[in-house]
Amino acid sequence: MTTRRMASEAEAPPEDTMPSSSPGSRGQSGYPAAFFSVDLAAAARRLLAFLRSASARGNVGPRSVRRYEEMWLPLAADAAGGGGEEAAMLVPPPDVHLVWLCHCFHHERYVAYCASRFGRLIDRPSILDAENEEHAADCCRDIWAARYPLEPFDLDNNDFDGNNSNAIENDSANSEIFMMVQTYAGLADHFASPFVSEGVYHVAARRRYTCFLDLIRKGVCTTREDTRLVPSLDILLMWLAHQSFPASYATDMTLMSIKDNVMKMVVSYREVASEETVERTRILWEEAYDEPYDLSGSEVDAAAVGTAREAFHWQAAASEEDTNRLYKGLQPRFLMEVCVFLKGEFDSEHISKEFLRFRAQRCYRSLKLDKSVSNLSCKNWQKMWHMYCEFATRGLTIEVRRSMGGCFRNSKILKNISFSWNDMLHEKSLMLSEELDARIRVMASITPPIQAPYLLKCVPDRVTDDGGAMVSDVILRMRSYRPQEGRWLTRTVLDYGGKECFVVRMRQRDLAERT
């Protein structure tokens, strides 16, 4: 069972298209109703696929900007027709495509640029699957060759002369557009975590992005002009995917009455936000939706958790569908990021003796993470645990315990609640909330499970002779005390589930010679 197969079991459902005359209307779950004119989940998948491709990581500089301005935009404008109501189903060269995306990410500047040069907005085509994108690129290649016979469609390594970023001062390329491209140079690395590509993650991100826009709309009407919001990782992904289709983005922003205020209220990518701004965003979000802002996989500062994720080597394990797809001797592992939050007040006469215990539902029975409840009462959501769990554990259990004293330090369970990974994966928000008691709530959030590196364990086994017979007094008696020839050390290799994978035998004499 590969990570891709697991993700396909919870594919992104169709885009929520709840038409509503009121931008602030809410769905059954309490979230604002979604009314986007483009499938943001599919748009995010295509954006990530392009950013992670080798062609998008090439050398993009002044020459690519010139190709974009002087060749591609006129071609796209002519192909769309005089009215320009619908974008031509064409995909530009990879280097030009990256420049086009970066220009669209600055929506207000892009709209002004197109209006001043063409008198109308040049939209990107809504191509949301790989096959149609490949076909559109082939069609564009033919049109490009006919219109610009002396300019190659795809730039090879030898064709990148003049694309040196240091030559921009002496180049006729638009320096403003070039700086936009430079701003998003590390965008692919920002979304490097493998769970970001999963469909269920996009569904949850789309809902949070809807809330974020609704928060902006409220802020425009009710708060001061200097209030700014910091997008989290998942919201930023949806925001960029939305902006990559300029016409749809402009239409949706107009319907929400926040068209002219988005850039004023949102901290853009790579802009350094102060701690006060980040905390203000968390407070506004919690007041509006009664849930934490920093959920699993939704961090504001990606660098803060990047080191922990690198420790699990997710990138190498998730880069392939299954490294063990040819030989099924190893049991694959799946990891997920888990955050547990608590909100409320503990009111008990024995509060000094009570504590919370985190345990796994299955496996790792020795795992016991305890926190005293004497100082856990809080009016806002407080992050209790932030960890990485295996999907095989099936879920987590939170227990309220009371110490009984004595030399063995025993404790008894007062109450417990459980969160199942499968139940949480079936939630569009990837989180669940339970009441620990009348005044305490616990919320758990996860990321989609991602295949992790294989985990092997070597355990000692018997010592044998050359024929594989165990070296022991019993074997000696059976052979009339005839000396056994050779001496082999045996080790059995198990996977993380305890399944025997293979056996390693080492001749002791060879080991002695090596040492």
Sheet order of strands, 488-495 included: 456-464, 488-495, 500-507
* 508: CB partners within 8 A, 6+ apart: 463, 487, 488, 489
- Torsions phi, psi for 32 (to 5 deg): -60, 145
pTM to 2 decimal places: 0.83
What letter would DSSP give residue 68? I
The CATH class of the 317-452 domain is: mainly beta
Gap between the Cα atoms of 468 and 505, Å rounded: 10
Domain map (residue ranges) of the chain? 60-184, 195-308, 317-452, 457-507
Digits of tens for pLDDT over the chain (515 positions)? Answer: 344 444 434 444 444 443 333 333 443 346 676 678 999 999 999 999 999 887 676 678 888 899 999 999 999 999 887 655 678 899 999 999 999 999 999 999 999 999 999 999 999 998 888 889 999 999 999 999 999 999 999 887 555 555 555 454 545 567 889 999 999 988 888 898 889 999 999 999 999 999 999 888 887 656 556 678 999 999 999 999 999 999 999 999 888 877 666 777 889 898 888 899 999 999 999 999 999 999 999 988 777 777 777 777 666 555 555 666 666 667 778 899 999 999 988 776 677 788 899 999 988 878 899 988 877 778 889 999 999 999 989 999 999 888 877 666 688 888 899 999 999 999 999 999 999 887 889 999 999 998 887 778 888 777 777 766 776 777 667 777 666 667 777 888 887 777 888 888 777 654 444 44
Q: How far is CA 290 from CA 203, 254, 398, 463, in A?
A: 20, 27, 21, 62
